[in-house]
A and B are shown apart, each in its own frame.
Chain A
Amino acid sequence: MHAVSIPPFERFYEEHRAEVMRLLRRTLGRERSDDAFQETFLRALQAYGRLDHGEHLRAWVLTIARNVAIDALRRTRPTSPELVEMPVEDGSPAYAELAPLTDGLPPKERAAVVLRYGYDLSYDQIATALGSSAEAARQAASTGVRRLRTRRTGQ
């Protein structure tokens, strides 16, 4: 099985920039979305050379955008990052199955669990999306999974 190859960044950028900007405009408004747009693609570019494969790049970049937006909202309004929705990849069963399951997890844990187990992204990639270290991403995913297990056995 061949992994999907990583497209040259320019192609990736052209393909996703409009949607990233839409997400940022919705959550941050016009004024702050320009800076967040730059931050999103700089974070993506920072990790781009270390990607293992080119799958789920849309989910990945929308997650980065979402976390950049959360950071921006935190700076001005300490609460309410829950308003930012998770990226939805069209027709992705992995995400569809995980979405209801991970409902209610704290945002970072939820993002880590979905990206790790729904999209099979590496902790390096998830770290970029979350704006954290790979170790913190690993911890968020494992804490999230543990929380889900406790919740299920508790039912």
Chain B
Amino acid sequence: MTISPDVDRRFRDAALALGLVDVGYDVVESPLGPLFVAVSDEGLASISYDTRPEEQLDRLAAFAGPRVLRAPRKIDLARRELDEYFAGRRRVFDLSLDLRGLAPFTVSVLRELARVPFGETTTYGALAARVGRPRAARGVGTVMNRNRIPIVLPCHRVVGATGNLVGYAGGLDRKTALLELEGVLL
């Protein structure tokens, strides 16, 4: 028996209104393709270029709790800021972030990463130095590769010491597109 979209939506809205959702998610359209966006009460918890929920839901439940629900309204604010960013009308995100479940080193690297401004780049080594671990450039690379909140935590602004783009979990095409959007690459 199919559930009418109206009944389904009413349940999802009511669940949110009653505060019963640990993490709400939905898919956001963007110039880089669809993005899986998840928000908890702590803040933005995940952005992924892989929009298949089966790949995402267990990962979210592991740090935020099992009440993971597709809930478009939960991500309204994140959706709006992403739309503005891609439209060239936003340079800084004002979203709080949910970094639960991440190792202390990862969190300190991501906090430094968050300070790299729109339109600028840094290197893996420089970021490592800024968290007091100058020899941990590879470790920083791993943190970038596993960055749970790309775009908002701008790992696309981190490049190799010689200026080469190195890599990007979402593919180098997307890294290039983001740096073009920010005017770093022409």
B is a partner of A: yes
Indicate the size class of the contact surface on chain A. 20 to 34
Chain B: interface residue total (CB-CB under 8 A): 25
Interface segment out of the listed B8-16, B80-88, B131-139, B156-164: B8-16
Structural contact, B3 and A18, CB atoms closer than 8 A:
yes
Residues of B within 8 A of A34 (CB): 4, 7, 10
Given contacts A8-B60, A46-B20, contact A18 B1 (CB under 8 A): yes
Which positions 39-86 of chain B face chain A at CB distance < 8 Å? 53, 57-58, 60-61, 65-70
Partner of A17, one of B3, B53, B68, B70: B3
Chain B facing A: main interface SS: mixed
Structural contact, A48 and B1, CB atoms closer than 8 A:
no
Q: Which residue of A lies closest to B22 (CB)?
A: A49
Structural contact, B10 and A7, CB atoms closer than 8 A:
no
Given contacts A37-B7, A46-B20, A48-B67, contact A10 B57 (CB under 8 A): yes
* Distance in angstroms between the alpha carbons of A45 and B11 in the assembled complex: 11
Structural contact, A21 and B1, CB atoms closer than 8 A:
yes
Partner of B20, one of A6, A7, A45: A45
Residues of A within 8 A of B57 (CB): 7-8, 10-11
